Amino acid sequence: MRTRFSPTYPCLLPVPANISDNTINYAGRYRSRARIPVLTYLHPVNNCSITRSSQPLVGVRNNRSIQDEKLLAAIFSTSRQEKSANGSPPSLEHESSNSSLEDQYGVQSDFDFSNAEELEDEVISAVQSAPKEPKPQVYGAQQHNLIVDARPTVNAFAMQAVGLGSENMDNYKFATKVYLGIDNIHVMRDSLNRVIDALKDSDVTSLGPNRDQLARSGWLKHITGLLDGAALIARQVGLQHSHVLIHCSDGWDRTSQLSALSQLCLDPYYRTLEGFMVLVEKDWLSFGHMFRHRSGHLNSEKWFK
């Protein structure tokens, strides 16, 4: 789909073929900055996807969007097999519509309908005595599609007071949701400043870094949360053969980090120099990461004087 309805999205958005442009437009009204769930990675073996978006506009009234639910359901069902258990395509009509009671259960079709009780008993007896087809055995990992909210649970619920929030899973029964507890950019920036304070004199003096100050910065906690989240996403896609939707608030900071790190785990191409360049362009530049604001060079001029 080629669109410009979201100014922070690329012009080409891969979406399921059975989703109309009208559904896309209405779904965009339910997501912050119209950042709808769109594909960012498709596993080459099992066709399971990593999609990304921004937070939904749930609010205190628990608003919902049928179009958003339809879009996400279509994304999460794209890798399902359309064949039956014996490998043949499913028929459009049930077999009973193409065969008579006589063919299926040995019941004569020339009934005397004046005696309905005997007719009912004979049909029930024939159905109960018919051989039952065994249920197909299912082996291996089963799909457990996942919605990953990168924020702390308290933050996600607090956003409902201003008309935002997180998905009500009663409306997304085809998936489960986890919160990763990764703090926002303001907490991250404050933590990074504490790291800089602890390290700033270690290069110009014989004193080592202030280890107590480093521990109090909380920086390792943030890094651990990101790595644990990326590992969870990689396991869901690569091992559990499941789809994953990632979002945080606006979907361009923590979402980009989790998406890129999980793809580095899943795909060796992104661990090459060329692949890493593609990954940065695809998951950071194209999806609106604000490098100028987030790099913090202008905010940290005092450290370079």
Q: Which residues are annotated as a binding site?
A: 184-185, 248-254
| Strand pairing class (49-52; 244-247) | parallel
Measured CA to CA, the distance from residue 69 to residue 19 in angstroms comes to 11
Cβ neighbour number for residue 242 with a 10 Å cutoff: 23
CA distances to 11, 13, 39, 209 from 21, in Å: 14, 11, 16, 56
User: Which positions make up the binding site for substrate?
Assistant: 184-185, 248-254
In the residue annotation, 265 being an active-site residue is answered as no
H helix or E strand, kind and range, residue 50: strand 49-52
Answer positive or negative: Cα dihedral of 160, 164, 167, 170.
positive
Task: Kindly tell me the burial class for residue 212, based on how many C-beta atoms sit within 10 Å of its own C-beta (0-12, 13-18, 19 or more).
Answer: exposed
Instruction: Give Cα 266 to chain centroid, integer Å.
Output: 15
The catalytic position among 11, 48, 248, 265 is: 248
| Strand pairing class (49-52; 38-42) | antiparallel
Instruction: List, in sequence order, every beta strand (DSSP E) within 83-192.
Output: 146-149, 176-179
* DSSP conformation letters of 211-264: HHHHHHHTHHHHHHHHHHHHHHHHHHHHTS---EEEE-SSSSSHHHHHHHHHHH
Measured CA to CA, the distance from residue 184 to residue 164 in angstroms comes to 15
Measured CA to CA, the distance from residue 78 to residue 139 in angstroms comes to 20
Residues forming the active site: 248
